[in-house]
Amino acid sequence: MKVDINRNSLKKLIRQLRSLADEFQLAIEAEPPAKKTPSNVITMTPFLAEAEAKTKEVADYYKFIQPVRGKKLLAKSVEWNLISKRLKGGYSVAELMTAILANSKDPWWIEKSLHSITDIMKKENNLQRFIHANKNPKGSNDAKSGYTAGSKEFTDNTEGFGD
């Protein structure tokens, strides 16, 4: 198929294309493009925002107690996710803060320089020990730790163990 294009028809086509280009330009400038939300974007619900705020609160407290180590604690890091996991597991913000503080004061942990979030929260036993450290301090001889004086009938009103 052979198409003959003469000079006049080519000029007419160019005028029409320019006119069409001008119309497109006016249409683009007249209205801003509609923003389309991608289907794979997840919007944060109030519950997720609250959980994120609690995680940030614990992380900020850790950064306050351990400023040098706290610099490495970034959002969505392994330690950040560990804090979030413990909060989802039922621990309160106050309990996790108590554990961080207890870890920073415990002589054995200070000697070994084990103060990371992983050291504090990864093992359930360590976390429980730190949470309850202030409630029942070791070494008190007031019959509240290690042994009990027993009932008044059994001890015959003696003062302490072995009296």
Domain ranges of the chain: 46-132
Q: Is the pLDDT of residue 38 over 70?
A: no
Q: How far is CA 133 from CA 16, 61, 104, 129, in A?
A: 84, 18, 12, 6
Q: Is the pLDDT of residue 161 over 50?
A: yes
Place of tokens 């351990």: 66
Q: How far is CA 131 from CA 7, 53, 121, 127, 158, in A?
A: 90, 21, 10, 6, 33
Residues 108-133: what's their mean pLDDT? 90
Residues 103-109: what's their mean pLDDT? 91
Q: Is 2 exposed, middle or buried (0-12, 13-18, 19+ CB in 10 A)?
A: exposed
Structure tokens at 83: 């804090």
Structure tokens at 68: 């040098």
Q: How confident is the model at residue 86 (pLDDT cuts 50, 70, 90)?
A: very high
Least confident of 40-44, 109-113, 136-140: 136-140
Residue 22 to residue 139: CA distance in whole angstroms: 87
Q: Is the pLDDT of residue 145 over 50?
A: no
Q: How confident is the model at residue 98 (pLDDT cuts 50, 70, 90)?
A: very high
Q: Which residue has the higher pLDDT, 111 or 7?
A: 111
Residue 148 to residue 161: CA distance in whole angstroms: 8
Beta carbons within 10 angstroms of residue 26's beta carbon: 9
